[in-house]
Chain A
């Protein structure tokens, strides 16, 4: 699995609703909130899929920024295949 963590920035009075919306998304875990920031974990099969999930956050009402902090792709089958070639 590709495991990533992100800090999602939201309009301050919409942090709770943003966190609730994020939590509804498959493979997304809301870890905590701080001020206007929501910390989320994304688990997906590939980097591509993880990126697609993270990019979709911009469509949530109240999201103002998506910051990637960490992404671990040691198990991404696409990358393993590319490296082995």
Chain B
């Protein structure tokens, strides 16, 4: 019957003509379209039917037009096709030609229909005239754009001239690449300030630091296709079923296709992901580092590791172990941390030393520590010992939001490297991302306080010089002398430092764009002026937003921004896929493209400023903005985006600029970049390792995974970085050919099936011993419970978009505290009771659920963070990982009492 159905699916032309000829009602036509598309999607033949770009198909018929796009919500970055008629979005279809999702979307795809059209969209600039109203949902009044822009520019310029350490920009993984790139350029080159950091600091920073430590390049080696090919999946503290549903659907499809495929779920609570895993292993919070070391110990002590792989591709290191826990102001500057992070705080060791360090992590010791049985630990270790198994590890916030999150990232790589399960189809560690374009915008264009575009670092002279060349700045403009001309040599304030300083009254100007820190930051009691620290009330705060959020309650000016397909944008997802969402509709009211808002402020602030004798603003933004017109040089956002993209792309295509190419090729010391002793050290930038394609290629290919290579006039993506093989099959042929390890005769050492870690200095990944460290807080008589926080399916982060969709709000109307029944009984509370959750940092009230979405074991409780009326972050501590500066949202100790 199935085959019959599929055979009956007519081609697109006949559907259209049938619809027209037989004068089927519109409804019948839409139904036929719906059925045709879904049958084709199930069969994997959707591509020919959708008729994108007016090529003929079932979409875009009549007066409607179809635009290529990417889902607005999470880091999966699924392609969608947006059909627009009469100036509004009328349908959304999974994009079959975007290889990240192949035509399927999760139920959040429904929200796309409504996210543009929710109640209360911000459509006019707002100004707060009476500071006394700060912290409330009133006091903002409508203003003209000129009034709001003049005010913001005046405040920013005043603080900048007075003391630029007292200004900050909090950027976002919700913003497209071009907007993030322009913002970083304005802040770093225009204002010479590194006080810009993204909200990705709260979700991905631990992953980023580990990538750089282990492989010297950010982002995963593998891709989503690994989900279709692995034999064993391990989720480490990740509720993929709710947080990454489309990817989880691929994982379950793989399991259904082969009964030998297994999924182990490791975490501190049972989730929807646990429900479908073959085995769930619940561990005591924080002991994941011990579990990974236990696996490593087994592989090494039993000699079950991949000796050939280890010898060829690994070097061993140890690092500073006593890092303490970061809570106090000024903690970053302590000797302990300086020692730990100087030179990465690591040193080389022999393999035998590494083996000795692991010895403590026996099955017995680890089982007692973690609560996972010895048998289960052994079963997991055997997975890595089995040379024939392709293993994929997946993780997000459980690992990253961890007081030793960078270490846990290291430890996952360690067991994959020891077992040689790395960068091959279906086999390797894969760091999932949370936010939509955290990879593309926050990580790749340099909106971190320590970074420049393309993984370059502000603290590295050659990196700054390379950037100066591409930004048309005089040599040394970004700094060349710590005393006399520091420029941006010193990294700026990371996110938590920005907000700690803000609360202490040490930040006078904050601009945040597309993030809701007043709901999402940990320890809101500390940051929102609810404790003794009131700095937030005095600072001048600017918020760029699409809907009113809690952060707007603290804003002095709110800029109404265009969202999603109301402007052109570029998206970088978790598998290194860059894709474009086209502008398809106009923003409502006076809402504007963020790039326009930024340029307006930049023109005002940089008025009269010069760089090397030339006008500052024109030097930085003259290619896209006409100062006399006070607008872009071209009305087309496509054209503006292309100009910016081509400039950004030069960072990863050095040959587009001869001087940049010389720096990339280490042509002597003619660029004045020398070490203190006057010698020149080759920079080995290897920037083609992140090569991006021309803008139009992303439109015609519906996204490409970098590095993208031009082969016979065609641009091809890379599915498996560092893996030898043919480019057209998805392997990293050209990267290895260019930078790979060669023998004395100049011949490449790697063969198909091998890897070449060409981005590292010695062609070797770093396996660094990282021990178990107890969490920053541990349960005691006063605060006996672990409190874990997270996200559930219906609501995206702080709910600023999803809670304006009534049905979603009804589906999950209230944040509940999931508790174990035994704990409830002990406390005398029952399902539905209101309780007060109190920590050393703050408290909030919440309703208890014993039949909630998650099922915590005794001693652990869980609540999501989407609800502004249940502000759980008031009680969550802001201890952070000393290496990544990412806070640990998962292990605050609390008491629970009946309210």
Residue positions of A touching B, CB distance < 8 A: 1, 3-7, 9, 11-12, 31-37, 39-41, 43, 46-52, 54-55, 64-74, 76, 78-79, 82-83
Residue positions of B touching A, CB distance < 8 A: 1-2, 5-6, 27, 30-31, 33-35, 37-39, 41-43, 46, 83, 85, 88-94, 103-107, 109-111, 113-114, 117-119, 245-246, 248-249, 252-253, 256, 276, 805-808, 810-811
Task: Kindly list chain A residues whose C-beta atoms are within 8 Å of the C-beta of B252.
Answer: 9, 64-65
How far does the Cβ of B404 sit from chain A's closest Cβ, in whole Å? 34
Cβ A64 vs Cβ B107 within 8 A: no
Cβ B117 vs Cβ A83 within 8 A: yes
Chain B contact residues: over half helix, strand or loop, or mixed?
Answer: helix
Chain B residue nearest in CB terms to A42: B34
A49 to B806 Cα, complex, angstroms: 10
A70 to B807 Cα, complex, angstroms: 18
How far does the Cβ of A38 sit from chain B's closest Cβ, in whole Å? 8
How far does the Cβ of B637 sit from chain A's closest Cβ, in whole Å? 21
Cβ A5 vs Cβ B1 within 8 A: no
Cβ A34 vs Cβ B30 within 8 A: no
How far does the Cβ of A37 sit from chain B's closest Cβ, in whole Å? 4
Task: Kindly list chain A residues whose C-beta atoms are within 8 Å of the C-beta of B103.
Answer: 69
Task: Kindly list chain A residues whose C-beta atoms are within 8 Å of the C-beta of B30.
Answer: 3, 72, 74
Cβ B118 vs Cβ A69 within 8 A: no
Task: Kindly list chain A residues whose C-beta atoms are within 8 Å of the C-beta of B34.
Answer: 3-5, 41, 69-70, 72
Cβ B110 vs Cβ A34 within 8 A: no
Cβ B91 vs Cβ A70 within 8 A: yes
Cβ A34 vs Cβ B2 within 8 A: yes
Task: Kindly list chain A residues whose C-beta atoms are within 8 Å of the C-beta of B1.
Answer: 32-33
A11 to B41 Cα, complex, angstroms: 18
Cβ B5 vs Cβ A32 within 8 A: yes
A57 to B253 Cα, complex, angstroms: 17
Would A48 and B807 be within 8 Å (CB), given that A34-B43, A41-B31 are in contact?
yes
Task: Kindly list chain B residues whose C-beta atoms are within 8 Å of the C-beta of A39.
Answer: 35, 38-39, 42
How far does the Cβ of A67 sit from chain B's closest Cβ, in whole Å? 4
Task: Kindly list chain B residues whose C-beta atoms are within 8 Å of the C-beta of A52.
Answer: 807, 810-811
A12 to B255 Cα, complex, angstroms: 11
Chain A residue nearest in CB terms to B46: A69
How far does the Cβ of A10 sit from chain B's closest Cβ, in whole Å? 9
Would A35 and B807 be within 8 Å (CB), given that A41-B31, A66-B106, A70-B38 are in contact?
no
Cβ B276 vs Cβ A64 within 8 A: yes
A-B contact pairs, 9 of them (CB 8 A): A41-B34, A48-B806, A51-B811, A64-B252, A68-B104, A69-B34, A70-B93, A72-B30, A72-B83
A34 to B117 Cα, complex, angstroms: 36
Cβ B104 vs Cβ A67 within 8 A: yes
Cβ B117 vs Cβ A82 within 8 A: yes
Would A82 and B118 be within 8 Å (CB), given that A3-B34, A7-B38, A70-B94 are in contact?
yes
Cβ A73 vs Cβ B249 within 8 A: no
Chain A residue nearest in CB terms to B38: A5
Chain A residue nearest in CB terms to B87: A83
A32 to B246 Cα, complex, angstroms: 21
6 nearest CB pairs, A to B = A48-B807, A5-B38, A5-B34, A32-B5, A74-B90, A82-B117
Would A73 and B807 be within 8 Å (CB), given that A7-B42, A64-B252 are in contact?
no
A79 to B111 Cα, complex, angstroms: 12
How far does the Cβ of B1 sit from chain A's closest Cβ, in whole Å? 7
Cβ A31 vs Cβ B35 within 8 A: yes
Task: Kindly list chain B residues whose C-beta atoms are within 8 Å of the C-beta of A11.
Answer: 256
Task: Kindly list chain B residues whose C-beta atoms are within 8 Å of the C-beta of A69.
Answer: 34, 37-38, 41, 46, 93-94, 103-105
A41 to B38 Cα, complex, angstroms: 9
A17 to B158 Cα, complex, angstroms: 69
Task: Kindly list chain B residues whose C-beta atoms are within 8 Å of the C-beta of A65.
Answer: 245, 248-249, 252-253
Cβ A79 vs Cβ B38 within 8 A: no
Chain A residue nearest in CB terms to B34: A5
Cβ B2 vs Cβ A68 within 8 A: no
Cβ B91 vs Cβ A9 within 8 A: no
A69 to B810 Cα, complex, angstroms: 23
Task: Kindly list chain A residues whose C-beta atoms are within 8 Å of the C-beta of B249.
Answer: 9, 64-65, 67
Would A68 and B35 be within 8 Å (CB), given that A35-B2, A51-B808, A83-B88 are in contact?
no
Chain B residue nearest in CB terms to A66: B107
A7 to B253 Cα, complex, angstroms: 12
A11 to B276 Cα, complex, angstroms: 11
Task: Kindly list chain B residues whose C-beta atoms are within 8 Å of the C-beta of A7.
Answer: 38, 41-42, 104
Task: Kindly list chain B residues whose C-beta atoms are within 8 Å of the C-beta of A79.
Answer: 88, 113-114, 117
How far does the Cβ of B464 sit from chain A's closest Cβ, in whole Å? 46
A37 to B257 Cα, complex, angstroms: 12
Task: Kindly list chain B residues whose C-beta atoms are within 8 Å of the C-beta of A41.
Answer: 31, 34-35, 38
- Give which listed residue, A32, A67, A72, contacts B2 with CB less than 8 A: A32
Q: Which of A6, A7, A35, A40 has the largest number of chain B CB atoms within 10 A?
A: A7
A65 to B256 Cα, complex, angstroms: 11
Cβ B27 vs Cβ A3 within 8 A: yes
Cβ A73 vs Cβ B253 within 8 A: no
Task: Kindly list chain B residues whose C-beta atoms are within 8 Å of the C-beta of A12.
Answer: 256
Would A31 and B119 be within 8 Å (CB), given that A47-B114, A67-B249 are in contact?
no
A71 to B34 Cα, complex, angstroms: 7
Cβ B92 vs Cβ A70 within 8 A: yes
Cβ A54 vs Cβ B110 within 8 A: yes
Task: Kindly list chain A residues whose C-beta atoms are within 8 Å of the C-beta of B5.
Answer: 31-32, 34
Task: Kindly list chain B residues whose C-beta atoms are within 8 Å of the C-beta of A67.
Answer: 41, 94, 104-106, 246, 249
Cβ A68 vs Cβ B37 within 8 A: no
Task: Kindly list chain A residues whose C-beta atoms are within 8 Å of the C-beta of B93.
Answer: 69-71
A37 to B31 Cα, complex, angstroms: 19
Cβ B38 vs Cβ A31 within 8 A: yes
Q: Which of A9, A50, A70 has the largest number of chain B CB atoms within 10 A?
A: A70
A50 to B34 Cα, complex, angstroms: 14
How far does the Cβ of B25 sit from chain A's closest Cβ, in whole Å? 11
Cβ A73 vs Cβ B90 within 8 A: yes
Task: Kindly list chain A residues whose C-beta atoms are within 8 Å of the C-beta of B92.
Answer: 70-71
Q: Which of B5, B42, B83, B811 has the largest number of chain A CB atoms within 10 A?
A: B42
Cβ B256 vs Cβ A64 within 8 A: yes
A71 to B105 Cα, complex, angstroms: 11
How far does the Cβ of B164 sit from chain A's closest Cβ, in whole Å? 43
How far does the Cβ of A6 sit from chain B's closest Cβ, in whole Å? 6
How far does the Cβ of A44 sit from chain B's closest Cβ, in whole Å? 10
Chain B residue nearest in CB terms to A81: B117
Task: Kindly list chain B residues whose C-beta atoms are within 8 Å of the C-beta of A9.
Answer: 249, 252-253, 256
Chain B residue nearest in CB terms to A12: B256
Cβ B38 vs Cβ A71 within 8 A: no
Task: Kindly list chain A residues whose C-beta atoms are within 8 Å of the C-beta of B27.
Answer: 1, 3
Task: Kindly list chain A residues whose C-beta atoms are within 8 Å of the C-beta of B111.
Answer: 51
Task: Kindly list chain B residues whose C-beta atoms are within 8 Å of the C-beta of A66.
Answer: 106-107
Cβ B805 vs Cβ A48 within 8 A: yes
Cβ B38 vs Cβ A51 within 8 A: no
A51 to B118 Cα, complex, angstroms: 15
A48 to B728 Cα, complex, angstroms: 43
A55 to B811 Cα, complex, angstroms: 9
Task: Kindly list chain B residues whose C-beta atoms are within 8 Å of the C-beta of A54.
Answer: 107, 110
A66 to B242 Cα, complex, angstroms: 12
How far does the Cβ of A11 sit from chain B's closest Cβ, in whole Å? 7
Would A32 and B33 be within 8 Å (CB), given that A7-B104, A48-B805, A68-B110 are in contact?
no
Cβ A68 vs Cβ B106 within 8 A: yes
How far does the Cβ of B732 sit from chain A's closest Cβ, in whole Å? 31
Cβ A47 vs Cβ B110 within 8 A: yes
Cβ A51 vs Cβ B107 within 8 A: yes
A62 to B252 Cα, complex, angstroms: 12
A1 to B30 Cα, complex, angstroms: 10
How far does the Cβ of B298 sit from chain A's closest Cβ, in whole Å? 32
Q: Which of A32, A49, A50, A83 has the largest number of chain B CB atoms within 10 A?
A: A32
How far does the Cβ of B87 sit from chain A's closest Cβ, in whole Å? 8
Cβ A6 vs Cβ B85 within 8 A: no
Chain A residue nearest in CB terms to B43: A34
Chain B residue nearest in CB terms to A72: B91
Chain A residue nearest in CB terms to B92: A71
